[in-house]
Amino acid sequence: MTATDDDARWAEKKKKQKAARDRMLATKTREKGLLVVHTGTGKGKTTAAMGLVMRALGHGFRVGIVQFVKGKWETGERAILDRFPELVTIRVMGEGFSWDSQDRQRDIAAARAAWAMAQELLADPSYRLIVLDELNIVLRYEHLPVDEVVAVLVARRPDLHVVVTGRNAPDYLIEAADTVTLMDARKHHFRANVKAQQGIEF
């Protein structure tokens, strides 16, 4: 077979693929604020949410972010987002639940306070995207009632996008979500004793 035959077959195959894709896309006509969940044990849940924040900001959308788990590092994304105070609101759960905390009652109080902040942002019509980072973690620990949280998320403004991150997303949230992505940990450098790297992990 000559190169020309190969090229002709390739073009024919691509043409069919494009037609199938166009037919498929023609059925996608709805507009909707999405409930997106990033879960699983692999790396990338929060950073993928930050990618969506960047995408939304590029369109001039206002974005609200609530961090339900207090990290120990000053993250790179925080430093960048602080440069856009008119577009981005970041609320970090106060004293309380962190990866190191051992005081359950304090954690519960902190989770409730963060959820109150989240509800305030969810109710503010100026936001187009709300990120609830590591909400899954506090739901997993039952520091917040999952049915109440999901009910509020489902009852959000119909054009508001919400992204929830964290391992172990509860089934009830997964059922309610429009898009769920499971990050799969095929490999992680921690296993080879590489410490958290600046610019990659924080």
Per the rule left: phi > 0, alpha: psi between -120 and 50, beta: everything else, 168 is left
Contact present, 51 and 58 (Cβ < 8 Å) = no
CB nearer Mg ion, residue 45 or residue 161? 45
CB nearer Mg ion, residue 110 or residue 164? 164
CB nearer ligand ATP, residue 33 or residue 42? 42
Identify the DSSP state of 79.
H
| Placement of tokens 């109150």 in the chain | 116
Contact present, 138 and 111 (Cβ < 8 Å) = yes
Which positions from 38 through 67 interact with ligand ATP, judged by CB under 6 A? 41-47
Which positions from 22 through 41 interact with ligand ATP, judged by CB under 6 A? 41
Which residue among 35, 36, 39, 46 contacts Mg ion (CB under 5 A)? Answer: 46
Minimum distance from residue 187 beta carbon to Mg ion (Å) = 18
Give the amino acid at 92. V
Footprint of ligand ATP (CB under 6 A): 41-47, 165, 167, 183, 185, 188, 190, 196, 201
